[in-house]
């Protein structure tokens, strides 16, 4: 405190949290959560000004005029959740395909009946900017209510220059009106559009010579992603696309080893990807190389669950090898139609054998790292953005344990309360 100006007026004070999870590595912190029992956070101008035990909060910190105080007695306070992998913008839905899969139809059968990813591409191409905007807004609202304050969002249902640009511009317009922070990724290499089926090298040319330069010029994305898979893009094509993206200032990400061990993880390490996502079939060598290069694994239990996959990514092995492991929804109409990151936390525990503290790290600080935002968000530290959740649960293990219901009481984004759970009125 400055002795000549002893009183500091703050905008928001959250006091008496039963468990305040800072996610800051602390000597007394439990399981890497940096837990403070009976904690207080003071927020000024959208950033964390002070954090610590309530009884140690300096008397010089007072609430400014118009400021808010929140009593978090009996509750858990933690950083806003971060969804590190979403396909936010798409039109149409595929519930018919969902039913067909339950009845035993294969991916190929469904594609032959006009379903699959290309049906979403068709619907998205037909949709207007305004339609995509309102669909995107509804999804962002649902995510915010679940406690998510930042998402990564991919294009990839346009697959033509104009349609990919349209999707990325919808994201930009949403960012201007919505509290959710959106980190945009260009995924023109999601799948081969049907008009290029017999001329795939021409699509690679379109991606590398027209789309990537234009996306970069208009500053519409921070990352470039590619679906590296037998059915999508080969290792060689993926490398070319990601390297071109890098030349234009787009940071690499990769959908890797989802359906087969294709060397995607090794490529992620080679090109210096921020994250490799999916990884169900990752090789030992791939894990080792990613650990060495500091690639974050983004695992998508919603897709494992929704596609009833038998093989899960070896999360425990990745953690033991020192990788940062993140969990995300993979929100998309085909393989993971959900906005619920808390549900992914429960799935991460049950299916991937991650413990509750690990799934909390995986949806906060590790997720921030997967998008290069770990200095601004993902943990509660002085000077960092005040993205904070108030949860009506007695301890952090309750969050994945009591699943399928909403525990979020308040969501704070950059110091502003952007969501408060409404109370059901009784008689
Ligand atoms: Zn995906």
Could you read off the pLDDT of 200-243 as tens digits, one per residue? 999 999 999 999 999 999 999 999 999 998 889 999 999 999 99
The residues, any chain, with a CB within 8 Å of residue 28's CB and separated by 6 or more, are none
Report CA(351)–ligand 1 centroid distance (Å). Answer: 19
Report CA(86)–ligand 1 centroid distance (Å). Answer: 6
d(CA 373, CA 1): 29
Report CA(254)–ligand 1 centroid distance (Å). Answer: 9
Query: What letter would DSSP give residue 123?
Result: H
d(CA 98, CA 180): 29
Report CA(25)–ligand 1 centroid distance (Å). Answer: 30
Report CA(298)–ligand 1 centroid distance (Å). Answer: 10
Region label for 421, one of left (φ > 0), alpha (ψ between -120 and 50) or beta (otherwise): beta
Under a CB-based contact definition with an 8 Å cutoff, are residues 343 and 403 in contact? Answer: yes
Report CA(223)–ligand 1 centroid distance (Å). Answer: 14
Report CA(330)–ligand 1 centroid distance (Å). Answer: 5
Report CA(326)–ligand 1 centroid distance (Å). Answer: 14
Report CA(361)–ligand 1 centroid distance (Å). Answer: 20
Report CA(144)–ligand 1 centroid distance (Å). Answer: 20
**Widest pairwise Cα distance in the chain:** 75
Under a CB-based contact definition with an 8 Å cutoff, are residues 70 and 13 in contact? Answer: yes
Strand 408-413 to 388-391 pairing? antiparallel
Report CA(180)–ligand 1 centroid distance (Å). Answer: 19
Helix 264-271 vs helix 284-293: crossing angle, to nearest 10: 20
Going across the sheet that includes 81-86, the strands are 81-86, 148-154, 181-189, 223-228, 251-256, 275-278, 296-299, 325-327
Report CA(227)–ligand 1 centroid distance (Å). Answer: 8
| CB atoms near residue 260 (< 10 Å) | 12
Q: What is the pLDDT of residues 179-202, one digit of tens each?
A: 999 999 999 999 999 999 999 999
Q: Say what the pLDDT of residue 251 is.
A: 98
pLDDT per residue rounded down to tens, the chain (427 residues): 444 557 899 999 999 999 999 998 654 555 789 999 999 999 999 999 999 999 999 999 999 899 999 999 999 999 999 999 999 999 999 999 999 999 999 877 887 888 899 999 999 999 999 999 999 999 999 999 999 999 999 999 999 999 999 999 999 999 999 999 999 999 999 999 999 999 999 999 999 999 999 999 999 999 999 999 888 999 999 999 999 999 999 999 999 998 888 899 999 999 999 999 999 999 999 999 999 999 999 999 999 999 998 999 999 999 999 999 999 999 999 999 999 999 999 999 999 999 999 999 999 999 999 999 999 999 999 999 999 999 999 999 999 999 999 999 999 999 999 999 987 776 5
Of 150, 164, 286, residue with least CA distance to 218: 164
Alpha helices in 206-234 (DSSP H): 212-217
| CB atoms near residue 105 (< 10 Å) | 16
Report CA(341)–ligand 1 centroid distance (Å). Answer: 15
Alpha helices in 353-409 (DSSP H): 356-362, 365-370, 398-401
Report CA(395)–ligand 1 centroid distance (Å). Answer: 32
Please, what is the Cα angle at 354 between 351 and 359, to 5 degrees?
110
Report CA(255)–ligand 1 centroid distance (Å). Answer: 7
Of 110, 12, 43, residue with least CA distance to 333: 110
Report CA(66)–ligand 1 centroid distance (Å). Answer: 43
From the CA atom positions of the chain, what is the Rg in Å? 22
Report CA(76)–ligand 1 centroid distance (Å). Answer: 31
Report CA(141)–ligand 1 centroid distance (Å). Answer: 20
């Amino acid at each position: 405190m400055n002795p000549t100006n002893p009183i500091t007026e703050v905008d928001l004070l959250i006091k008496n949290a039963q468990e305040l999870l800072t996610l800051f590595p602390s000597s007394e912190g439990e399981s890497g959560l940096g837990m403070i029992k009976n904690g207080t956070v003071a927020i000024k101008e959208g950033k964390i000004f002070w954090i610590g035990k309530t009884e140690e909060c300096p008397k010089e910190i007072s609430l400014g005029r118009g400021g808010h105080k929140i009593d978090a007695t009996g509750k858990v306070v933690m950083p806003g959740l971060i969804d590190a992998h979403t396909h936010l913008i798409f039109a149409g839905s595929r519930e018919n395909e969902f039913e067909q899969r339950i009845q035993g139809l294969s991916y190929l059968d469904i594609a032959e009946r006009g379903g699959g990813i290309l049906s979403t591409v068709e619907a998205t191409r037909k949709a207007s900017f305004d339609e995509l905007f309102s669909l995107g807004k509804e999804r962002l609202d649902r995510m915010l209510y679940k406690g998510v304050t930042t998402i990564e969002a991919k294009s990839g249902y346009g697959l033509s220059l104009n349609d990919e640009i349209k999707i990325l511009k919808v994201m930009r317009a949403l960012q201007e009106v919505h509290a959710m922070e959106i980190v945009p990724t260009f995924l023109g290499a999601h799948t081969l559009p049907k008009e290029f089926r017999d001329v795939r090298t021409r699509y690679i040319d379109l991606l590398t010579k027209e789309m990537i330069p234009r996306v970069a010029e208009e500053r519409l994305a921070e990352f470039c992603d590619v679906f590296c898979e037998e059915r999508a893009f080969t290792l060689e094509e993926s490398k070319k696309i990601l390297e071109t993206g890098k030349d234009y200032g787009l940071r690499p990400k990769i959908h890797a080893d989802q359906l087969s061990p294709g060397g995607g993880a090794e490529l992620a390490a080679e090109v210096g990807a921020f994250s490799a996502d999916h990884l169900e079939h990752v090789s030992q060598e791939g894990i080792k190389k990613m650990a060495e290069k500091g690639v974050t694994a983004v695992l998508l239990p919603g897709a494992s669950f929704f596609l009833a996959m038998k093989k899960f990514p070896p999360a425990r092995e990745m953690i033991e090898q020192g990788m940062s492991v993140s969990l995300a929804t993979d929100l998309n109409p085909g393989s993971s139609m959900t906005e619920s990151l808390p549900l992914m936390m429960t799935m991460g525990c049950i299916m991937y054998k991650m413990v509750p503290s690990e799934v909390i790290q995986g949806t906060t600080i590790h997720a921030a790292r997967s998008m290069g935002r770990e200095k601004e968000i993902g943990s509660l530290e002085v000077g960092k953005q005040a993205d904070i959740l108030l949860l009506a649960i007695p301890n952090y293990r309750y969050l994945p344990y009591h699943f399928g219901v909403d525990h979020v009481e308040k969501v704070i984004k950059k110091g502003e309360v952007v969501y408060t759970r409404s109370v059901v009125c009784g008689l």
